């Protein structure tokens, strides 16, 4: 069914994700009504001024009484108290949903309050290093998986209606059991953040007084530690609420590191080759999969001088030869004096044509 134009959505929290969901739904479903609450008054004012919210409030009150869906977008530790505050004002058929990356704890609390017949868990698999409403954007969720969790207590038609709402954000709905969700995200999201932070702290401790490690940090180090710029408070709470799954998988990871350390100590060339080859093969399978999160891309890197107008000159050359650029930007892994531009194309043919053209024009090109 189509989402009724009179549908009203409530947002309790307008940070990066809550703001992005609201903006995407405002863009794609312009007739809906959005009401919002946040402790950050600047975020509320911005949402009202940019047209995302129709109504704002600095307290949880009867502003939410007309809501068909209410998104709990505050930090995990605040969601339960916010539910308690909402209960006196929620209409009987309103659906509660959250955006937290851990589901077990909130489901336990939802059951205690006999609300599982009106709760659908949600976890948009999207984010950015910068937080807050000012960094939210309508396109943040586009083509990202949006995990939906539910129990048998809620009707199937409510789940289907919610999937339709998620699709309207541009995201891809993916339904799974809430407790399986927590194990899955521990492996593909929570452990990587712990590992990233541990690596940054290791280099911080081991660096010399001149900060040489920090000075020369580039390429791989920047890639693997980028996520350490995320909110420490958020990751503290995630580790506390999904501690069993994180601890179990972290133990397995520590054992794997111990084994590879032994192989390095012994100089076991075959074992090290197997270690890196198996990782490469599995990682490459993500790209080849039609349903995986990492899609095949067609990119080249072009070295250019650090001079004004060089990017414009390069892109104009491609445009003049009818080569369509999907994305272009300055790479953050630059290790040489000249700049490096990463150019992404829609097809392999466009990539090859662009590579040949740029080489003929004197550019140094690499994949």
One-character DSSP codes across 206-226? HS-TT-HHHHH--HHHHHHHG
> Does pLDDT of 294 surpass 60?
no
Radius of gyration (C-alpha) of the chain in whole angstroms? 24
Q: What is the C-alpha separation between 167 and 142, in angstroms, rounded?
A: 9
Q: In this model, does residue 265 exceed pLDDT 50?
A: yes
Cβ contact 178:139 at 8 Å: no
Average pLDDT, the chain: 88
Q: Is the pLDDT of residue 139 over 70?
A: yes
Q: Which two tokens stand for residue 15?
A: 């940070």
> What's the pLDDT tens digit per position in 207-229?
888 888 888 876 678 878 888 88
Q: What is the pLDDT of residue 337?
A: 40
Which tokens is 267 given? 């100089």
As a residue count, the chain comes to 367
In this predicted structure, which of 58-72, 129-143, 324-338 has the lowest mean pLDDT? Answer: 324-338
Q: What are phi and psi of 98, to 5 degrees?
A: -130, 180
State if pTM tops 0.95. no
Token pair listed for 299: 């990119």
Q: Which domains does the chain show, CATH number per domain?
A: 8-176 (3.40.50.720), 181-288 (1.10.3660.10), 298-366 (3.30.2130.10)
pLDDT grade for 1, boundaries at 50, 70 and 90: very low
pLDDT tens digits for range 149-174: 998 899 999 999 999 999 999 999 99
pLDDT value of residue 335: 43
Residue 302 vs residue 255, higher pLDDT? 255
pLDDT in tens, 7-23: 999 999 999 999 999 99
Checking if the pLDDT of 289 tops 70, the result is no
Give residue 23's pLDDT.
Answer: 96
Q: What is the pLDDT of residues 165-207, one digit of tens each?
A: 999 999 999 999 999 999 999 999 999 999 999 999 999 999 8
Q: What is the pLDDT of residue 228?
A: 85
């Amino acid at each position: 069914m189509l989402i009724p134009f009179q549908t009203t959505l409530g947002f309790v929290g307008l940070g990066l994700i809550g703001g992005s969901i609201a903006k995407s739904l405002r863009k794609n479903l312009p007739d809906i009504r959005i009401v919002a609450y946040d402790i950050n008054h600047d975020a509320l004012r911005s949402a009202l001024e940019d047209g995302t919210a129709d109504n704002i409030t600095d307290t949880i009150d009867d502003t939410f009484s007309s809501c068909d869906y209410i998104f709990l977008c505050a930090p995990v530790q605040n969601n339960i108290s916010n539910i308690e505050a909402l209960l006196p004002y929620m209409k009987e058929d309103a659906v509660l949903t959250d955006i937290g990356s851990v589901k077990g704890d909130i489901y336990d609390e939802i059951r205690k309050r006999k609300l599982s017949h009106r709760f659908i868990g949600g976890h948009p698999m999207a984010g950015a290093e910068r937080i807050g409403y000012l960094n939210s954007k309508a396109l943040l969720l586009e083509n990202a998986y949006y995990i939906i969790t539910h129990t048998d207590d809620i009707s199937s038609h409510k789940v289907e209606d919610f999937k339709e709402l998620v699709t309207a954000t541009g995201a891809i709905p993916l339904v799974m059991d809430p407790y399986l969700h927590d194990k899955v995200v521990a492996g593909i999201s929570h452990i990587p953040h712990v590992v990233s932070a541990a690596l940054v702290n290791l280099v911080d401790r081991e660096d010399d007084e001149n900060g040489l490690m920090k000075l020369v940090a580039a390429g791989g180090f920047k890639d693997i530690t980028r996520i350490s710029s995320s909110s420490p408070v958020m990751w503290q709470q995630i580790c506390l609420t999904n501690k069993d799954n994180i601890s179990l998988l972290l133990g397995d990871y520590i054992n794997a590191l111990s084994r590879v350390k032994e192989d390095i100590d012994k100089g076991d060339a075959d074992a090290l080759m197997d270690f890196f080859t198996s990782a490469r093969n599995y990682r490459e399978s993500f790209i080849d999969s039609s349903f995986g999160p990492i899609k095949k891309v067609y990119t080249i890197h072009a070295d250019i001088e650090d001079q004004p107008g060089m990017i414009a000159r390069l892109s104009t050359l491609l445009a003049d030869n009818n080569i369509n650029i999907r994305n272009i930007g300055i790479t953050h892994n630059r290790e040489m004096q000249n700049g490096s531009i990463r150019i992404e194309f829609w097809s392999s043919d466009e990539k090859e044509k662009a590579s040949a053209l740029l080489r003929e024009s004197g550019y140094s090109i690499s994949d």
